[in-house]
Chains A and B, each alone.
With several copies, the nearest count.
Chain A
């Protein structure tokens, strides 16, 4: 079951969840808070979320990936609230018989999460300003 959490994400725990003697390949993706974006300096991020819908969308995406790529296991966690520099904001871990499926499923999951799951990021810039990130809406 995908998780939305205000606590730091334990990546090692996710790996343990998906490893299996039925799988030959594990792929873990971590999204981490980058200090510089196009030359602008970030001090922290804040995540807002429409929890009920986000949870439901994550469950749908997980089920779809498990079926499409015959995954052995799949685990997804997204962080909410304040996330410091270098910390993990999202983690996707999948295991599969072979590596092609594991890479394809991991890539599709994070791409699709970023496209459809109602979660938003606020950049707290080093210059004291901050802004919600809404791709396609200019300042």
Chain B
């Protein structure tokens, strides 16, 4: 199953795109997504340990289940203000 993940700031710059598609099994969680992203994009491996993920505009726990119609985003540590 394919999941689109939005990328921002440093993560976007490392990957060179603002969206990546990650293939995960049905019922996959945020924790599974983190592992898959680190494996498929080696340059992201260090950063990915420090990011949060948002599902439908809310921060998600590691055990949050992903659904293909959710809006998923990778949120590196924020620095607005």
Q: Do A and B interact directly, with beta carbons closer than 8 Å?
A: yes
Q: Which residues of A contact B (CB under 8 A)?
A: 31, 47-50, 52-54, 56-57, 78, 89-90, 110, 113-122, 131-137
Do A90 and B9 touch across chains, with their CB atoms under 8 A apart?
no
Question: How far does the Cβ of A59 sit from chain B's closest Cβ, in whole Å?
Answer: 11
B10-49 interface bits toward A, Cβ cutoff 8 Å, 1 = contact, 0 = none: 1011000000000000000000000000000000001100
* CB closest residue in chain A, given B59: A116
B65 within 8 A of A: no
A136 to B12, CA, bound (A): 17
A113 to B78, CA, bound (A): 9
Do A48 and B50 touch across chains, with their CB atoms under 8 A apart?
no
* CB closest residue in chain B, given A133: B79
5 A-B pairs closest in CB distance: A119-B80, A120-B9, A132-B10, A133-B79, A114-B81
Per the CB 8 Å criterion, the residue count for chain B at the interface is 22
Main secondary structure of the interface of B (DSSP, over half): mixed
A53 to B73, CA, bound (A): 10
> Contacts of A47 on B, CB cut-off 8 Å?
80
Do A121 and B50 touch across chains, with their CB atoms under 8 A apart?
no
Do A137 and B73 touch across chains, with their CB atoms under 8 A apart?
no
Main secondary structure of the interface of A (DSSP, over half): mixed
A117 to B59, CA, bound (A): 10
Neighbour of B77 across the interface among A113, A117, A137, CB < 8 A:
A137
What are 9 A-B pairs at a CB distance below 8 A?
Answer: A31-B81, A47-B80, A50-B6, A52-B71, A54-B80, A132-B76, A134-B47, A134-B50, A137-B10
B51-67 interface bits toward A, Cβ cutoff 8 Å, 1 = contact, 0 = none: 00010011100000000
> Contacts of A52 on B, CB cut-off 8 Å?
57, 71
Question: How far does the Cβ of A38 sit from chain B's closest Cβ, in whole Å?
Answer: 15
Given contacts A118-B75, A119-B80, 9 further A-B contacts (CB under 8 A): A48-B8, A49-B80, A53-B58, A90-B81, A115-B78, A117-B78, A120-B78, A134-B10, A134-B79
A114 to B78, CA, bound (A): 7
Q: Looking at B9, B13, B58, which has the most chain A CB atoms within 10 Å of its CB?
A: B9
